[in-house]
Structure 1
Amino acid sequence: MGERDRRYIAELNEGEKFYGFYLVVEKVLKYAKNDNPYLDILLQDRTGRITAKLWEKAQEMDAEFNVGDIVGVAGAVEKFRDSIQIKIEKIRRIDEEKRIEENLTDSEFIVTTPKNIDEMWSEIWEIIKNIKNPYLSKLLSRIYRKYEKQLKSLPGSMRLHHAYQGGLLEHIFNTVKIAKSICKVYDEIDEELFIAGVLAHDIGKIRELSGRYVFDYTDEGNFIGHVVLGRDMLIEEAKEIEGFPELLRLKLEHIILSHHGKYEWQSPKEPAFPEAQLVYQIDEIDTRLYQMKNSIESDVSEGKWTSKSNYFKRVLYKGENPEKPLDNEDNETRGKEGKETKTDDKQTSLF
């Protein structure tokens, strides 16, 4: 294959040949229009994610590695619909012995929130401590103590937004900070109900998603979904608090059930009072802003404007000097910490 440079995902550029080590996040055997099979794969390292295609011996290779495996890949970077993807030339599963030889620790393959987990957690706890309503304070304290590990580690979603370790906490943190600012403008809002609704709106994702490095939907997640699961969790925790007011519980249930805003967006209810409407709106703000940044920064078309091949299906303004994708935010640095990208004569031994 000749010499190739080892590359982290954030360092890949159209037209180059490379090799690297990646985590298999998704793998699906598909069929092209000519009925030829191919593998559609999503790869990840600590700097981000990228789609990859394997066209040669797809059915045979499908049995050689699984989701959750570390693989060695040699391939070429291609442009597809104004983004880049990998055309895989060679791929193989990396066993434990090879991982040790290459010093491939778990941290090489985990995409994490760019924000500080402990700082976000501390700020959220300060907000909870300052809630004067004893029922709301007890409820949130129970939930956040009980599910601390999951809240700190789970993604905000599988693909739609903040789809990386710690993404759920980042999304909650962003939305509650927005909510605190809104409360300074609208005096008529029940601030503590509003804040509690924001902090509780996505708790169902604790039961909807599972995993450590590769996340997937649980059976509950597939059958029920995080909206209804979150409402069920809230009822369970409220039952453990003596004298919890029924109307207050019902309002919180409604906020969770209506936070997707519209029936066509899988929302069992539409917002029926101002605090519920605001929770829906700020959830939208954080989600859509993430998607817009990602659409702009992942676009590889030339010029100041993106193509229409994005979530919004419209051109978006990139500016004079568009940067790297949001999923790879700060990852140019991450990819180079502790290891320089270099030409490695040993790479052919991968295959």
Structure 2
Amino acid sequence: MTESASPIVALSDLATGEEGDFFALLADRQELLTKEGKPYWRVTFRDARRDVSFPIWGDAPLAEACRTQWVVGEFYKLRALYRETNYGPQLEIRRIRPVEPTDEADGFTPQMCQPASRFDAKEMFADLVSLVEEAVTEAPLKRLVLDLLETHREELLVWPAATRNHHAFAGGYLEHVRNVATHARMLADRYAGLYPDLTPPLDVGLVVAGAVLHDIGKLRELCVTPLGGEYTPAGSLVGHILQGRDMIREAAAAQDADGEPLGAEQLLRLEHIIISHQRLPEWGSPKPPMTPEALLVHYADDCDAKFQMMRQILADDAAGGPLTSRRNVLGHALFRGDPLADAADN
């Protein structure tokens, strides 16, 4: 398309009724039928902070291009009018074309269309390393954890924690694991101080090591695409829990060959934290937590995942009134507050 010079804006910065040129990812395209049986397409364009889903009707000027040329997972430059409607956000597309190499001069990068953690990934990684260096006192265990982190540093900086539901964005893995490890260490310190007579004593270092590595198998379970995290074949057939246990065994075997072995029981307890951290078979764990260390990591993990789900529901739900819709990942409504009661109090 022939384009006149126009400043680039972000899709997420457009106000209702505002038109602009922006870059977006085609995240979804579904062929559907109207009540009259006529075909149309429902498409979703997104940047890092906004998704817009809307119909392209079968008789619209862009219908043929949508059907034959638009590719899910590709990036596009659009000129469009953004509107908030009773049916949700809509785009009236004036112009559209695939992104070209020259668009880099206007600031295009794939990352601008991909949701990301609000926290700096390098800082989160450094926080994990510092936590391990401080809390894991046994040298073989500390080396195993730090070696796994450093070996996979570049992946971890961009990895999502999941394909959906919680922390499903670039850097989400580190955000989630930092939260889990920090909270698990706090709980372990607290309970170790309250119950010094526990036999065997609560191993704070093992709790931190297990928390830092509990999801390490997601590096094999998932791959990263422009659409976000997607399951690998091994991820679908085996899952991250067993693959995480495999990665720890492989690292321990290499360390053993290098002359710094982990104790057999310590390795067993670490493996147990990994395979039990989701607690239930229907969630993927073959065994429930059977040690105090595994119990603390499970609840730190579950709390952080559920909190992120709740935070996202409260941010995204468009239902009016004091309660959200029940149609969400938690399966129940959340209370956001009663504005009428607040008004009466004031």
Q: TM-score range by the shorter chain?
A: 0.7 to 0.9
2:284 to 266, 269, 281: 266
Equivalent residue number for residue 342 of structure 1: none
**Equivalent residues of 1:155, 1:162 under 8 A apart:** yes
In 2, Cα distance between the equivalents of 1:284 and 1:137?
24
Equivalent residue number for residue 205 of structure 2: 192
**Equivalent residues of 2:47, 2:112 under 8 A apart:** yes
In 2, Cα distance between the equivalents of 1:129 and 1:93?
50
After TM superposition, the structure 1 stretch with the greater mean CA deviation from structure 2, 308-317 or 23-32, is: 23-32
Equivalent residue number for residue 175 of structure 1: 180
1:118 to 116, 122, 133: 122
After TM superposition, the structure 1 stretch with the greater mean CA deviation from structure 2, 204-213 or 287-296, is: 204-213
Equivalent residue number for residue 328 of structure 2: 310
Return the index of the structure with the highest Cα Rg: 2
Aligned-residue Cα RMSD (Å) equals 3.0
Equivalent residue number for residue 318 of structure 2: 300
In 1, Cα distance between the equivalents of 2:336 and 2:224?
34
Secondary structure, in 3 states, of the residue corresponding to 2:137? Answer: coil
TM-fit CA distance, 1:248 = 2.0
Q: TM-score, normalised by structure 1?
A: 0.78
Higher relative contact order (CA 8 A, sep 6+): 1
Secondary structure, in 3 states, of the residue corresponding to 1:210? Answer: strand
Q: Where does 1:2-17 land on structure 2 (aligned, <5 Å)?
A: 8-11=10-13, 16=17
Secondary structure, in 3 states, of the residue corresponding to 1:153? Answer: coil
Code of the residue aligned with 2:332 in structure 1: it is: R
TM-fit CA distance, 1:51 = 4.7
Equivalent residue number for residue 308 of structure 2: 290
Q: 1:211 and 2:224 equivalent?
A: yes
Note closer, same or farther for the CA distance 1:146–1:38 as it changes in structure 2 (3 Å cut): farther
Code of the residue aligned with 2:247 in structure 1: it is: M
The unaligned stretches of length 5 or more in structure 1 are 322-351
Code of the residue aligned with 1:180 in structure 2: it is: R
TM-fit CA distance, 1:122 = 1.7
**Equivalent residues of 2:25, 2:113 under 8 A apart:** no
Note closer, same or farther for the CA distance 1:244–1:41 as it changes in structure 2 (3 Å cut): farther
**Equivalent residues of 1:297, 1:318 under 8 A apart:** no
TM-fit CA distance, 1:92 = 3.3
In 2, Cα distance between the equivalents of 1:247 and 1:54?
58
**Equivalent residues of 2:77, 2:96 under 8 A apart:** yes
Note closer, same or farther for the CA distance 1:230–1:38 as it changes in structure 2 (3 Å cut): farther
The unaligned stretches of length 5 or more in structure 2 are 1-6, 193-197, 340-346
TM-fit CA distance, 1:266 = 2.5
In 1, Cα distance between the equivalents of 2:326 and 2:9?
29
* 1:146-167 Cα deviation digits (max 9, x unpaired): 0001111111111111121111
In 2, Cα distance between the equivalents of 1:9 and 1:287?
28
Secondary structure, in 3 states, of the residue corresponding to 2:54? Answer: strand
After TM superposition, the structure 1 stretch with the greater mean CA deviation from structure 2, 60-69 or 115-124, is: 60-69
TM-fit CA distance, 1:95 = 3.2
**Equivalent residues of 1:23, 1:68 under 8 A apart:** no
Note closer, same or farther for the CA distance 1:146–1:28 as it changes in structure 2 (3 Å cut): same
Note closer, same or farther for the CA distance 1:291–1:128 as it changes in structure 2 (3 Å cut): same
In 2, Cα distance between the equivalents of 1:145 and 1:31?
47
Equivalent residue number for residue 328 of structure 1: none
Paired positions, count: 313
TM-fit CA distance, 1:103 = 4.0
In 2, Cα distance between the equivalents of 1:285 and 1:43?
32
- Percent identical among aligned pairs is 27
Equivalent residue number for residue 52 of structure 1: 53
In 2, Cα distance between the equivalents of 1:53 and 1:175?
37
Secondary structure, in 3 states, of the residue corresponding to 1:177? Answer: helix
Code of the residue aligned with 1:150 in structure 2: it is: E
Code of the residue aligned with 2:30 in structure 1: it is: L
In 2, Cα distance between the equivalents of 1:201 and 1:25?
33
